[in-house]
A and B are shown apart, each in its own frame.
Chain A
């Protein structure tokens, strides 16, 4: 089991560029989430999904899109990158029958 994987580990973008952060899990978990972590702000929920084809907004969804076409994958798209989106992004997953949530290794994104 690879658990929750994320790519890339690091990314530098220019303002206005778009990109997709990849997240995959091989545990057949129904629930997947994206968080951003900024200094002193904790982990803030961007978007989440309770199953394939179902997504919903979290606390800070503006500027991000998600889709969930399969159980395994939950990509996060930045439509037009802004410096305010400089952050560390974590993907997480959990089984529907469980409370325990597991995090991926994170992607450090810098927008210049």
Chain B
């Protein structure tokens, strides 16, 4: 089955700096890669996703890039703000009928 890994488990950045969170996946058939943000005590919320036929996708301050050859995808947050502090999960799915496999999550702290 699919295996998704996130490293490191924590990341601390200064407010205004950029943050990059990387995930790797094992199944070359995976074609859908979402990123979820989870604030303390809240549910995971989908913030951006990318499909395997696209190399990059942007939405305001966040972007996701996908490298299918290396089997990794990354979340980029520019001009970080304290409200970006949260746990971020990456995930991968092999197709519309496949299960979503999550990474263990990374805790991002933005220092004011």
Contact = CB atoms under 8 A, between A and B. Distances in A.
Nearest to B32: A99
A43 B51 contact: no
Given A99-B32, A99-B51, A100-B34, A42 B46 contact: no
Interface residues of A, number: 22
B105 A42 contact: yes
A43 B102 contact: yes
Given A99-B93, A100-B49, A106-B43, A41 B104 contact: yes
B60 interface: no
B44 interface: yes
B43 A99 contact: no
B7 interface: no
Given A43-B44, A45-B100, A48-B99, 14 more contacts: A33-B100, A40-B9, A42-B89, A42-B103, A42-B105, A50-B97, A58-B99, A96-B96, A97-B96, A99-B34, A99-B96, A100-B34, A103-B36, A106-B43
Interface of A: 33, 35, 40-45, 48, 50, 58, 90, 96-97, 99-106
